[in-house]
A and B are shown apart, each in its own frame.
Chain A
Amino acid sequence: MKKVTVCIGSSCHLKGSRQVVEMLQYFIAQNKLDDKVELNGTFCMGNCQKGVCVTVDDEFHSVTPDNVKDFFDKEILAKV
Protein backbone atom coordinates (compact mmCIF):
# COMPACT_ATOMS: atom_id res chain seq x y z
CA MET A 1 0.00 0.00 0.00
CA LYS A 2 1.40 3.36 -1.06
CA LYS A 3 0.59 6.17 1.29
CA VAL A 4 0.15 9.48 -0.53
CA THR A 5 -0.47 12.55 1.61
CA VAL A 6 -1.36 15.92 0.14
CA CYS A 7 -1.04 19.14 2.13
CA ILE A 8 -4.35 20.96 2.29
CA GLY A 9 -3.20 23.79 4.54
CA SER A 10 -3.94 27.38 3.53
CA SER A 11 -0.78 28.01 1.56
CA CYS A 12 -0.98 24.81 -0.48
CA HIS A 13 -4.71 25.27 -0.87
CA LEU A 14 -4.06 28.63 -2.53
CA LYS A 15 -1.50 26.94 -4.81
CA GLY A 16 -4.04 24.39 -5.96
CA SER A 17 -4.06 21.42 -3.60
CA ARG A 18 -7.72 20.86 -4.37
CA GLN A 19 -6.96 20.39 -8.06
CA VAL A 20 -4.02 18.13 -7.18
CA VAL A 21 -6.24 15.98 -4.97
CA GLU A 22 -9.02 15.81 -7.56
CA MET A 23 -6.60 14.80 -10.30
CA LEU A 24 -4.89 12.20 -8.13
CA GLN A 25 -8.27 10.76 -7.22
CA TYR A 26 -9.13 10.62 -10.91
CA PHE A 27 -5.85 8.93 -11.92
CA ILE A 28 -6.09 6.45 -9.06
CA ALA A 29 -9.60 5.48 -10.12
CA GLN A 30 -8.66 5.40 -13.82
CA ASN A 31 -5.77 3.02 -13.12
CA LYS A 32 -7.83 1.00 -10.64
CA LEU A 33 -5.31 1.56 -7.87
CA ASP A 34 -7.88 2.07 -5.12
CA ASP A 35 -6.59 -0.86 -3.11
CA LYS A 36 -2.94 -0.03 -3.74
CA VAL A 37 -2.83 3.69 -3.01
CA GLU A 38 -4.13 5.37 0.07
CA LEU A 39 -4.71 9.08 -0.49
CA ASN A 40 -4.87 11.35 2.50
CA GLY A 41 -4.74 14.99 3.47
CA THR A 42 -3.00 16.94 6.19
CA PHE A 43 -2.99 20.56 7.26
CA CYS A 44 0.50 21.97 6.66
CA MET A 45 3.75 20.07 6.24
CA GLY A 46 5.82 23.08 7.24
CA ASN A 47 7.23 23.46 3.75
CA CYS A 48 4.90 26.15 2.47
CA GLN A 49 7.33 27.66 -0.07
CA LYS A 50 7.50 24.35 -1.93
CA GLY A 51 3.76 23.76 -2.15
CA VAL A 52 1.73 21.95 -3.15
CA CYS A 53 3.48 19.60 -0.72
CA VAL A 54 2.92 15.89 -1.28
CA THR A 55 4.57 12.92 0.41
CA VAL A 56 4.70 9.40 -0.98
CA ASP A 57 5.54 7.01 1.86
CA ASP A 58 7.16 9.92 3.71
CA GLU A 59 9.26 11.02 0.70
CA PHE A 60 8.67 14.70 -0.05
CA HIS A 61 7.60 16.03 -3.45
CA SER A 62 6.68 19.47 -4.67
CA VAL A 63 3.71 19.21 -7.02
CA THR A 64 1.63 21.72 -8.97
CA PRO A 65 -1.70 21.25 -10.74
CA ASP A 66 0.31 21.41 -14.00
CA ASN A 67 2.77 18.62 -13.27
CA VAL A 68 0.52 16.29 -11.28
CA LYS A 69 0.19 13.85 -14.23
CA ASP A 70 3.98 13.49 -14.49
CA PHE A 71 4.22 13.14 -10.75
CA PHE A 72 1.57 10.43 -10.69
CA ASP A 73 3.18 8.46 -13.52
CA LYS A 74 6.70 8.61 -12.06
CA GLU A 75 6.17 8.45 -8.35
CA ILE A 76 2.99 6.45 -7.97
CA LEU A 77 2.06 4.44 -11.06
CA ALA A 78 5.64 3.32 -11.80
CA LYS A 79 6.20 2.24 -8.21
CA VAL A 80 3.08 0.35 -7.21
Chain B
Amino acid sequence: MRVFDTKVQHLKYKVLREVARQAWAGTLLQNMLDIPKIIVPGKVPTMRCCVYKERAILAERVKIAIGGNPANPNIIEVIDIACDECPAAGYSVTDSCRGCLAHRCEDVCKRGAISFDHNYVAHIDKTKCIECGQCAKVCPYTAIVNRKRPCQNACKIKAIDIREDGAAEIDNSKCISCGACVYQCPFGAIMDKSFIINVIDMIQKSENNTNYKVYAVIAPSISSQFSYAKLGQVVSGIKELGFHTVIEAALGADMVAAAESQELAEKGFLTSSCCPGFVDYIKKSFPALVPLISHNLSPMATLAKWIKSREPNCKIVFIGPCTAKKAEVQLEKVKPYVDAAITFEELQALIDSKDIDLTKLEEDVLDNASYFGRIFARSGGLSDAVAQALKEQSIDFDLKPCACDGIEECKMALLKKSKNLLDANFIEGMACVGGCIGGAGCLTHGEKNKAQVDKYGREAMEKTISSAISILKM
Protein backbone atom coordinates (compact mmCIF):
# COMPACT_ATOMS: atom_id res chain seq x y z
CA MET B 1 0.00 0.00 0.00
CA ARG B 2 1.47 3.29 -1.05
CA VAL B 3 -0.43 6.22 0.36
CA PHE B 4 1.78 9.16 -0.62
CA ASP B 5 3.84 10.19 -3.62
CA THR B 6 6.88 11.33 -1.66
CA LYS B 7 8.72 10.84 1.63
CA VAL B 8 8.34 14.55 2.30
CA GLN B 9 4.56 14.13 2.34
CA HIS B 10 4.98 11.14 4.63
CA LEU B 11 7.06 13.13 7.10
CA LYS B 12 4.56 15.96 7.10
CA TYR B 13 1.81 13.40 7.63
CA LYS B 14 3.60 11.95 10.66
CA VAL B 15 3.72 15.41 12.23
CA LEU B 16 0.05 16.07 11.49
CA ARG B 17 -0.96 12.66 12.82
CA GLU B 18 0.94 13.16 16.06
CA VAL B 19 -0.44 16.68 16.52
CA ALA B 20 -3.93 15.27 15.94
CA ARG B 21 -3.39 12.41 18.42
CA GLN B 22 -2.36 14.85 21.11
CA ALA B 23 -5.22 17.19 20.26
CA TRP B 24 -7.86 14.44 20.52
CA ALA B 25 -6.37 13.44 23.88
CA GLY B 26 -6.32 17.02 25.09
CA THR B 27 -2.58 16.81 25.72
CA LEU B 28 -1.28 18.94 22.87
CA LEU B 29 -0.20 21.84 25.06
CA GLN B 30 1.75 19.65 27.48
CA ASN B 31 3.38 17.45 24.85
CA MET B 32 3.85 19.78 21.93
CA LEU B 33 7.56 20.26 22.53
CA ASP B 34 8.09 16.49 22.68
CA ILE B 35 6.56 15.76 19.28
CA PRO B 36 9.88 16.14 17.36
CA LYS B 37 11.45 13.55 19.65
CA ILE B 38 8.51 11.21 19.24
CA ILE B 39 9.03 11.34 15.47
CA VAL B 40 12.84 11.19 15.54
CA PRO B 41 13.59 9.17 18.66
CA GLY B 42 17.14 7.79 18.37
CA LYS B 43 20.55 9.35 18.01
CA VAL B 44 21.19 8.43 14.41
CA PRO B 45 20.08 11.02 11.87
CA THR B 46 18.17 9.75 8.84
CA MET B 47 17.44 12.98 7.00
CA ARG B 48 19.86 15.74 8.02
CA CYS B 49 23.31 16.22 9.49
CA CYS B 50 22.24 15.40 13.04
CA VAL B 51 19.11 14.52 15.00
CA TYR B 52 19.14 17.96 16.61
CA LYS B 53 18.68 19.69 13.32
CA GLU B 54 16.05 17.16 12.36
CA ARG B 55 14.19 17.92 15.57
CA ALA B 56 14.60 21.66 15.18
CA ILE B 57 12.99 21.44 11.76
CA LEU B 58 10.27 19.16 13.09
CA ALA B 59 9.50 21.75 15.77
CA GLU B 60 8.88 24.22 12.94
CA ARG B 61 6.66 21.66 11.21
CA VAL B 62 4.67 21.26 14.43
CA LYS B 63 4.15 25.02 14.54
CA ILE B 64 2.78 25.03 11.00
CA ALA B 65 0.65 21.97 11.77
CA ILE B 66 -1.07 23.91 14.55
CA GLY B 67 -1.77 26.96 12.42
CA GLY B 68 1.62 28.52 11.70
CA ASN B 69 2.75 32.09 12.13
CA PRO B 70 -0.33 34.27 12.68
CA ALA B 71 1.64 37.35 11.64
CA ASN B 72 2.07 35.90 8.16
CA PRO B 73 -1.19 36.15 6.21
CA ASN B 74 -0.08 33.55 3.68
CA ILE B 75 -1.22 29.95 4.09
CA ILE B 76 2.10 28.84 2.60
CA GLU B 77 5.19 29.25 4.75
CA VAL B 78 8.89 28.65 4.27
CA ILE B 79 10.75 26.83 7.03
CA ASP B 80 14.02 28.63 6.52
CA ILE B 81 16.16 26.21 8.50
CA ALA B 82 14.83 23.37 6.35
CA CYS B 83 15.67 25.13 3.10
CA ASP B 84 18.78 23.57 1.60
CA GLU B 85 19.58 26.80 -0.24
CA CYS B 86 19.89 24.85 -3.47
CA PRO B 87 22.24 26.29 -6.08
CA ALA B 88 20.25 28.41 -8.47
CA ALA B 89 22.49 29.23 -11.35
CA GLY B 90 19.92 28.69 -14.07
CA TYR B 91 21.23 27.17 -17.32
CA SER B 92 24.82 26.03 -17.15
CA VAL B 93 27.15 23.78 -19.09
CA THR B 94 28.22 20.57 -17.35
CA ASP B 95 31.31 18.46 -17.87
CA SER B 96 29.32 16.35 -20.32
CA CYS B 97 30.10 19.00 -22.93
CA ARG B 98 32.37 17.28 -25.44
CA GLY B 99 33.52 20.38 -27.22
CA CYS B 100 31.83 19.15 -30.38
CA LEU B 101 31.99 20.56 -33.86
CA ALA B 102 28.33 21.23 -34.48
CA HIS B 103 27.86 23.87 -31.76
CA ARG B 104 24.10 23.76 -32.05
CA CYS B 105 23.95 25.61 -28.74
CA GLU B 106 25.70 28.58 -30.26
CA ASP B 107 23.49 28.57 -33.36
CA VAL B 108 20.25 28.45 -31.44
CA CYS B 109 21.17 31.17 -28.92
CA LYS B 110 19.61 34.39 -30.13
CA ARG B 111 21.46 36.44 -27.52
CA GLY B 112 24.96 35.36 -28.44
CA ALA B 113 25.51 34.19 -24.89
CA ILE B 114 27.52 31.11 -25.78
CA SER B 115 31.27 31.17 -26.29
CA PHE B 116 33.94 28.46 -26.40
CA ASP B 117 37.25 27.97 -24.67
CA HIS B 118 40.45 26.58 -26.18
CA ASN B 119 39.04 23.03 -25.82
CA TYR B 120 35.89 24.09 -27.74
CA VAL B 121 33.86 23.58 -24.56
CA ALA B 122 30.82 25.85 -24.32
CA HIS B 123 30.36 28.56 -21.67
CA ILE B 124 27.31 30.66 -21.00
CA ASP B 125 27.69 34.39 -20.46
CA LYS B 126 25.21 35.05 -17.65
CA THR B 127 25.04 38.73 -18.47
CA LYS B 128 23.54 37.88 -21.86
CA CYS B 129 21.59 34.67 -21.07
CA ILE B 130 17.83 35.02 -20.68
CA GLU B 131 17.30 31.45 -19.42
CA CYS B 132 15.23 30.48 -22.45
CA GLY B 133 16.60 26.95 -22.40
CA GLN B 134 16.96 26.56 -26.17
CA CYS B 135 20.64 25.53 -25.87
CA ALA B 136 19.74 22.75 -23.42
CA LYS B 137 17.07 21.48 -25.82
CA VAL B 138 19.39 21.17 -28.80
CA CYS B 139 22.53 19.77 -27.13
CA PRO B 140 22.92 16.17 -28.35
CA TYR B 141 24.85 15.30 -25.17
CA THR B 142 22.27 16.89 -22.84
CA ALA B 143 25.29 18.69 -21.45
CA ILE B 144 23.41 21.84 -20.57
CA VAL B 145 21.19 21.67 -17.49
CA ASN B 146 18.88 24.02 -15.74
CA ARG B 147 20.01 24.38 -12.17
CA LYS B 148 16.84 26.02 -11.09
CA ARG B 149 15.55 25.55 -7.61
CA PRO B 150 12.69 23.06 -7.51
CA CYS B 151 10.52 25.58 -5.68
CA GLN B 152 11.17 28.32 -8.22
CA ASN B 153 10.67 25.85 -11.02
CA ALA B 154 7.34 24.77 -9.53
CA CYS B 155 6.20 28.36 -9.10
CA LYS B 156 5.17 29.36 -12.59
CA ILE B 157 4.11 32.81 -11.48
CA LYS B 158 7.55 33.63 -10.08
CA ALA B 159 6.46 34.32 -6.52
CA ILE B 160 9.57 32.77 -4.97
CA ASP B 161 12.65 34.88 -4.46
CA ILE B 162 15.96 34.01 -2.92
CA ARG B 163 17.00 35.84 0.19
CA GLU B 164 20.54 37.14 0.63
CA ASP B 165 21.33 34.25 2.97
CA GLY B 166 20.23 31.83 0.25
CA ALA B 167 16.91 30.67 1.71
CA ALA B 168 13.73 30.77 -0.34
CA GLU B 169 11.29 33.57 0.31
CA ILE B 170 7.69 33.86 -0.83
CA ASP B 171 6.49 37.14 -2.26
CA ASN B 172 3.02 37.38 -0.74
CA SER B 173 2.00 40.06 -3.21
CA LYS B 174 2.27 37.44 -5.98
CA CYS B 175 1.69 34.08 -4.24
CA ILE B 176 -1.68 32.46 -4.87
CA SER B 177 -1.24 29.70 -2.25
CA CYS B 178 -1.60 26.94 -4.83
CA GLY B 179 0.97 24.84 -3.01
CA ALA B 180 2.98 23.80 -6.09
CA CYS B 181 6.21 24.63 -4.22
CA VAL B 182 5.01 22.71 -1.16
CA TYR B 183 4.62 19.59 -3.23
CA GLN B 184 7.84 20.06 -5.20
CA CYS B 185 10.42 21.10 -2.59
CA PRO B 186 12.54 17.96 -2.09
CA PHE B 187 13.46 19.06 1.44
CA GLY B 188 9.91 19.81 2.49
CA ALA B 189 11.01 23.32 3.38
CA ILE B 190 7.72 24.87 2.34
CA MET B 191 4.53 23.86 4.07
CA ASP B 192 0.87 24.76 4.09
CA LYS B 193 -0.54 25.83 7.43
CA SER B 194 -2.90 23.33 8.93
CA PHE B 195 -6.14 23.88 10.77
CA ILE B 196 -6.73 20.31 11.89
CA ILE B 197 -6.71 21.27 15.55
CA ASN B 198 -9.53 23.73 14.90
CA VAL B 199 -11.46 20.91 13.24
CA ILE B 200 -10.81 18.55 16.15
CA ASP B 201 -11.96 21.26 18.55
CA MET B 202 -15.15 21.81 16.52
CA ILE B 203 -15.91 18.09 16.54
CA GLN B 204 -15.23 17.70 20.26
CA LYS B 205 -17.28 20.71 21.31
CA SER B 206 -20.21 19.54 19.20
CA GLU B 207 -20.61 16.69 21.77
CA ASN B 208 -21.45 14.09 19.15
CA ASN B 209 -23.24 16.63 16.99
CA THR B 210 -25.74 17.45 19.72
CA ASN B 211 -24.69 21.07 20.40
CA TYR B 212 -24.43 21.72 16.68
CA LYS B 213 -23.78 19.56 13.65
CA VAL B 214 -20.42 19.38 11.93
CA TYR B 215 -20.72 18.76 8.20
CA ALA B 216 -17.92 17.54 5.95
CA VAL B 217 -18.15 18.92 2.43
CA ILE B 218 -15.89 16.84 0.27
CA ALA B 219 -14.35 17.69 -3.10
CA PRO B 220 -15.04 15.39 -6.06
CA SER B 221 -11.32 14.78 -6.56
CA ILE B 222 -11.67 12.41 -3.58
CA SER B 223 -12.59 9.82 -6.22
CA SER B 224 -8.95 9.65 -7.33
CA GLN B 225 -7.61 9.48 -3.78
CA PHE B 226 -7.49 6.85 -1.00
CA SER B 227 -7.04 4.22 -3.68
CA TYR B 228 -6.39 1.56 -1.04
CA ALA B 229 -10.00 1.77 0.18
CA LYS B 230 -13.43 2.18 -1.36
CA LEU B 231 -14.94 5.65 -1.51
CA GLY B 232 -17.83 4.45 0.66
CA GLN B 233 -15.33 3.38 3.31
CA VAL B 234 -13.71 6.82 3.24
CA VAL B 235 -17.16 8.32 3.83
CA SER B 236 -17.65 5.97 6.80
CA GLY B 237 -14.21 6.94 8.08
CA ILE B 238 -15.06 10.63 7.97
CA LYS B 239 -18.24 9.98 9.95
CA GLU B 240 -16.23 7.87 12.37
CA LEU B 241 -14.07 10.92 13.04
CA GLY B 242 -17.20 12.58 14.39
CA PHE B 243 -18.68 14.44 11.45
CA HIS B 244 -22.47 14.43 11.30
CA THR B 245 -22.49 13.59 7.61
CA VAL B 246 -20.58 13.94 4.37
CA ILE B 247 -21.86 15.96 1.42
CA GLU B 248 -20.45 16.28 -2.06
CA ALA B 249 -19.04 19.71 -2.90
CA ALA B 250 -19.94 18.67 -6.45
CA LEU B 251 -23.56 19.52 -5.65
CA GLY B 252 -22.34 23.07 -5.10
CA ALA B 253 -20.64 22.75 -8.48
CA ASP B 254 -23.98 21.88 -10.06
CA MET B 255 -25.45 25.00 -8.45
CA VAL B 256 -22.54 27.09 -9.73
CA ALA B 257 -22.81 25.69 -13.27
CA ALA B 258 -26.48 26.65 -13.42
CA ALA B 259 -25.91 30.16 -12.06
CA GLU B 260 -22.69 30.78 -13.95
CA SER B 261 -24.23 29.92 -17.31
CA GLN B 262 -26.97 32.50 -16.67
CA GLU B 263 -24.43 35.10 -15.63
CA LEU B 264 -22.31 34.34 -18.69
CA ALA B 265 -25.23 34.76 -21.07
CA GLU B 266 -26.11 38.03 -19.39
CA LYS B 267 -22.60 39.51 -19.38
CA GLY B 268 -21.18 37.95 -22.53
CA PHE B 269 -17.78 37.21 -20.97
CA LEU B 270 -16.66 35.63 -17.71
CA THR B 271 -13.76 34.00 -16.01
CA SER B 272 -14.60 31.18 -13.63
CA SER B 273 -14.50 31.72 -9.89
CA CYS B 274 -14.22 28.14 -8.65
CA CYS B 275 -10.47 27.89 -8.28
CA PRO B 276 -9.25 30.14 -5.46
CA GLY B 277 -5.71 30.15 -6.84
CA PHE B 278 -6.90 31.41 -10.22
CA VAL B 279 -9.15 34.09 -8.69
CA ASP B 280 -6.29 35.27 -6.49
CA TYR B 281 -4.00 35.33 -9.51
CA ILE B 282 -6.35 37.65 -11.40
CA LYS B 283 -6.62 39.91 -8.35
CA LYS B 284 -2.86 40.08 -7.86
CA SER B 285 -1.51 40.02 -11.40
CA PHE B 286 -4.37 41.17 -13.65
CA PRO B 287 -6.33 43.63 -11.50
CA ALA B 288 -7.89 45.24 -14.56
CA LEU B 289 -9.67 41.95 -15.32
CA VAL B 290 -11.24 41.61 -11.85
CA PRO B 291 -14.67 42.85 -13.06
CA LEU B 292 -14.78 39.87 -15.42
CA ILE B 293 -14.57 37.30 -12.63
CA SER B 294 -17.85 35.47 -12.12
CA HIS B 295 -19.73 36.74 -9.09
CA ASN B 296 -20.59 33.24 -8.02
CA LEU B 297 -19.06 31.88 -4.88
CA SER B 298 -17.04 28.71 -5.37
CA PRO B 299 -18.91 25.37 -5.29
CA MET B 300 -17.70 24.80 -1.73
CA ALA B 301 -18.98 28.17 -0.52
CA THR B 302 -22.20 28.02 -2.57
CA LEU B 303 -23.21 24.71 -1.01
CA ALA B 304 -22.09 25.79 2.46
CA LYS B 305 -24.18 28.95 2.14
CA TRP B 306 -27.23 26.86 1.31
CA ILE B 307 -26.68 24.64 4.35
CA LYS B 308 -26.04 27.55 6.70
CA SER B 309 -29.11 29.42 5.50
CA ARG B 310 -31.16 26.56 6.92
CA GLU B 311 -29.02 25.69 9.89
CA PRO B 312 -27.08 28.78 10.94
CA ASN B 313 -25.36 27.29 13.97
CA CYS B 314 -23.86 24.28 12.19
CA LYS B 315 -20.15 24.00 11.35
CA ILE B 316 -18.87 23.20 7.89
CA VAL B 317 -15.47 21.75 7.10
CA PHE B 318 -14.28 21.49 3.52
CA ILE B 319 -12.03 18.53 2.72
CA GLY B 320 -10.22 18.72 -0.59
CA PRO B 321 -7.01 18.63 -2.59
CA CYS B 322 -6.33 22.33 -2.30
CA THR B 323 -4.10 24.51 -0.17
CA ALA B 324 -5.56 27.71 -1.65
CA LYS B 325 -8.98 26.76 -0.25
CA LYS B 326 -7.50 27.44 3.18
CA ALA B 327 -6.94 31.01 2.06
CA GLU B 328 -10.37 31.18 0.43
CA VAL B 329 -12.17 30.31 3.66
CA GLN B 330 -10.54 33.33 5.28
CA LEU B 331 -12.05 35.74 2.75
CA GLU B 332 -14.75 37.99 4.19
CA LYS B 333 -17.37 36.73 1.73
CA VAL B 334 -16.64 33.07 2.42
CA LYS B 335 -15.87 33.16 6.15
CA PRO B 336 -19.53 33.13 7.26
CA TYR B 337 -20.18 29.87 5.41
CA VAL B 338 -17.13 27.62 5.74
CA ASP B 339 -15.52 27.14 9.14
CA ALA B 340 -12.34 25.37 8.07
CA ALA B 341 -10.64 23.75 5.08
CA ILE B 342 -8.33 20.77 5.27
CA THR B 343 -6.58 18.67 2.64
CA PHE B 344 -6.74 14.98 1.78
CA GLU B 345 -3.26 14.66 3.33
CA GLU B 346 -4.66 16.05 6.55
CA LEU B 347 -7.72 13.83 6.34
CA GLN B 348 -5.42 10.81 6.12
CA ALA B 349 -3.56 12.04 9.21
CA LEU B 350 -6.83 12.57 11.10
CA ILE B 351 -8.11 9.12 10.19
CA ASP B 352 -4.88 7.48 11.31
CA SER B 353 -4.68 9.60 14.46
CA LYS B 354 -7.80 7.75 15.60
CA ASP B 355 -6.45 4.42 14.32
CA ILE B 356 -9.38 4.01 11.97
CA ASP B 357 -8.72 1.28 9.40
CA LEU B 358 -10.70 2.36 6.35
CA THR B 359 -10.41 -1.04 4.73
CA LYS B 360 -12.33 -2.63 7.63
CA LEU B 361 -15.25 -0.22 7.52
CA GLU B 362 -18.67 -0.74 5.98
CA GLU B 363 -19.26 1.20 2.78
CA ASP B 364 -21.43 4.24 3.23
CA VAL B 365 -22.95 6.12 0.30
CA LEU B 366 -22.10 9.48 -1.26
CA ASP B 367 -24.50 10.66 -3.91
CA ASN B 368 -25.79 14.20 -4.13
CA ALA B 369 -24.42 15.67 -7.33
CA SER B 370 -24.67 15.05 -11.06
CA TYR B 371 -22.00 13.85 -13.49
CA PHE B 372 -21.34 17.47 -14.41
CA GLY B 373 -20.82 18.66 -10.85
CA ARG B 374 -18.41 15.83 -10.25
CA ILE B 375 -16.20 16.44 -13.27
CA PHE B 376 -15.36 19.93 -11.98
CA ALA B 377 -12.46 18.08 -10.36
CA ARG B 378 -10.55 17.85 -13.60
CA SER B 379 -9.51 20.37 -16.20
CA GLY B 380 -12.21 20.96 -18.80
CA GLY B 381 -15.01 19.75 -16.54
CA LEU B 382 -16.24 23.19 -15.61
CA SER B 383 -16.52 24.22 -19.28
CA ASP B 384 -18.44 21.02 -20.05
CA ALA B 385 -20.77 21.73 -17.15
CA VAL B 386 -21.44 25.31 -18.23
CA ALA B 387 -22.19 24.09 -21.78
CA GLN B 388 -24.59 21.54 -20.33
CA ALA B 389 -26.26 24.12 -18.05
CA LEU B 390 -26.82 26.45 -21.01
CA LYS B 391 -28.43 23.58 -22.89
CA GLU B 392 -30.59 22.41 -19.98
CA GLN B 393 -31.87 25.91 -19.34
CA SER B 394 -32.41 26.54 -23.07
CA ILE B 395 -30.23 29.62 -22.93
CA ASP B 396 -29.27 30.78 -26.38
CA PHE B 397 -25.59 31.58 -26.02
CA ASP B 398 -22.71 30.57 -28.23
CA LEU B 399 -20.22 29.30 -25.65
CA LYS B 400 -16.57 29.51 -26.61
CA PRO B 401 -14.68 28.17 -23.62
CA CYS B 402 -10.97 28.44 -23.05
CA ALA B 403 -10.13 25.73 -20.53
CA CYS B 404 -6.79 26.57 -18.93
CA ASP B 405 -4.99 23.61 -17.49
CA GLY B 406 -2.55 24.97 -14.93
CA ILE B 407 -1.53 28.51 -14.04
CA GLU B 408 0.76 28.94 -17.07
CA GLU B 409 -2.17 28.43 -19.43
CA CYS B 410 -4.25 30.75 -17.23
CA LYS B 411 -1.55 33.38 -17.58
CA MET B 412 -1.53 33.08 -21.36
CA ALA B 413 -5.31 33.38 -21.61
CA LEU B 414 -5.43 36.35 -19.24
CA LEU B 415 -2.61 38.08 -21.12
CA LYS B 416 -4.48 37.61 -24.37
CA LYS B 417 -7.73 38.80 -22.81
CA SER B 418 -6.06 41.90 -21.43
CA LYS B 419 -4.93 42.74 -24.97
CA ASN B 420 -8.32 41.78 -26.44
CA LEU B 421 -6.76 38.96 -28.42
CA LEU B 422 -8.59 36.06 -26.81
CA ASP B 423 -10.95 34.15 -29.07
CA ALA B 424 -13.20 32.87 -26.27
CA ASN B 425 -15.96 34.14 -24.05
CA PHE B 426 -15.38 31.98 -21.00
CA ILE B 427 -12.08 31.31 -19.26
CA GLU B 428 -12.04 28.22 -17.11
CA GLY B 429 -9.05 28.77 -14.87
CA MET B 430 -7.46 25.96 -12.89
CA ALA B 431 -4.22 26.84 -11.14
CA CYS B 432 -3.07 23.24 -10.86
CA VAL B 433 -2.14 21.17 -13.88
CA GLY B 434 -4.87 18.60 -14.45
CA GLY B 435 -7.33 20.64 -12.39
CA CYS B 436 -8.13 19.89 -8.75
CA ILE B 437 -6.78 16.34 -9.09
CA GLY B 438 -3.36 17.98 -9.44
CA GLY B 439 -3.81 19.86 -6.17
CA ALA B 440 -0.95 20.06 -3.69
CA GLY B 441 -3.06 18.57 -0.91
CA CYS B 442 -3.70 15.32 -2.79
CA LEU B 443 -2.17 12.15 -1.39
CA THR B 444 -1.20 10.97 -4.84
CA HIS B 445 -1.03 12.47 -8.29
CA GLY B 446 -1.34 10.00 -11.11
CA GLU B 447 -2.12 9.56 -14.76
CA LYS B 448 -5.24 7.57 -13.96
CA ASN B 449 -6.79 10.24 -11.77
CA LYS B 450 -8.72 11.92 -14.58
CA ALA B 451 -10.27 8.61 -15.62
CA GLN B 452 -11.20 7.99 -11.99
CA VAL B 453 -13.02 11.31 -11.79
CA ASP B 454 -14.92 10.63 -15.02
CA LYS B 455 -15.87 7.17 -13.80
CA TYR B 456 -17.09 8.61 -10.51
CA GLY B 457 -19.04 11.21 -12.50
CA ARG B 458 -20.82 8.54 -14.54
CA GLU B 459 -21.84 6.73 -11.36
CA ALA B 460 -23.90 9.69 -10.14
CA MET B 461 -27.59 8.90 -9.84
CA GLU B 462 -28.63 12.30 -11.15
CA LYS B 463 -27.77 12.62 -14.81
CA THR B 464 -28.42 16.32 -15.29
CA ILE B 465 -27.51 19.49 -13.44
CA SER B 466 -31.13 20.58 -13.15
CA SER B 467 -32.25 17.29 -11.62
CA ALA B 468 -29.40 17.42 -9.09
CA ILE B 469 -30.20 20.95 -7.94
CA SER B 470 -34.01 20.83 -8.22
CA ILE B 471 -34.14 19.36 -4.72
CA LEU B 472 -32.47 22.46 -3.31
CA LYS B 473 -35.24 24.75 -4.50
CA MET B 474 -37.23 24.57 -1.30
A interface vs B, CB < 8 Å?
6, 8-11, 13-14, 17-18, 21-22, 25, 39-44, 46
Contacts and interface: CB of A to CB of B under 8 A. Distances in A.
B89 interface: no
26 contacts: A6-B474, A8-B471, A9-B245, A10-B248, A10-B364, A10-B365, A10-B366, A10-B367, A13-B471, A14-B365, A17-B471, A21-B471, A21-B474, A22-B470, A39-B474, A41-B310, A41-B472, A41-B474, A42-B311, A43-B215, A43-B307, A43-B368, A44-B244, A46-B209, A46-B244, A46-B245
Interface in B292-324: 307, 310-311
Contacts of B245: 9-10, 43-44, 46
Contact of A11 (B311, B365, B467): B365
Query: Size band of the B side of the interface?
Result: 20 to 34
A9 B245 CA distance: 8
Contacts of B462: 18
Interface in B226-258: 235, 244-248
Contacts of B3: none
A25 B462 CA distance: 19
A46 B472 CA distance: 19
Interface in B172-211: 209
Nearest to B467: A18
Contacts of A8: 368, 471-472
Contact of A40 (B310, B367, B368): B310
Contact of A18 (B215, B307, B471): B471
Nearest to A19: B471
A9 B209 CA distance: 16
Nearest to B461: A14
A43 B365 CA distance: 13
A26 to B, nearest CB: 12
Contacts of B467: 18
Nearest to A8: B471
